Amino acid sequence: MVALAGDRHVGRFDITFLSRAGYPEWVASSPEDYVAIAERLMRDRPDRNAIREKLTNSMLFDGARAARDLEDAFHMMWQRYVRHGNG
């Protein structure tokens, strides 16, 4: 997957996804950059098994870590609410 960085949330999601998967170099900053990245990947034909292994070991597939991070975020929100009230 190659992504073109955008200026809205939906256009920035791919940046996060590819960065967390370990492939930030697959994010293009311009349409020309997008074509260049895609052409390079087609020409170089990266090893699919190596990519699959890297993705499997990335934090994208670490459900326990994702759950802990979400719990931590909820805890911080609750602490902020208790300290400052609801308004």
Specify whether 18 is located in the same domain as 49.
yes
By residue range, what is the domain housing residue 75? Answer: 63-87
Specify whether 81 is located in the same domain as 48.
no
Distance CA 42, CA 72 (A): 41
The reported pLDDT for the residue numbered 86 is 65
The reported pLDDT for the residue numbered 48 is 74
Specify whether 28 is located in the same domain as 68.
no
The reported pLDDT for the residue numbered 30 is 93
Helices (H), the chain: 9-21, 31-44, 48-56, 63-84
In this model, does residue 87 exceed pLDDT 70?
no
Specify whether 44 is located in the same domain as 85.
no
Specify whether 20 is located in the same domain as 36.
yes
In this model, does residue 28 exceed pLDDT 80?
yes
Specify whether 30 is located in the same domain as 69.
no
In this model, does residue 79 exceed pLDDT 90?
yes
Specify whether 47 is located in the same domain as 77.
no
Read off the pTM.
Answer: 0.60
- 29-77 pLDDT tens trace: 999 999 999 998 888 776 777 877 877 777 777 788 878 888 999 999 9
Q: What Å distances lie between residue 37 and 11, 16, 67, 76, CA to CA?
A: 17, 17, 33, 39
* Structural domains of the chain, count: 2
Specify whether 52 is located in the same domain as 67.
no
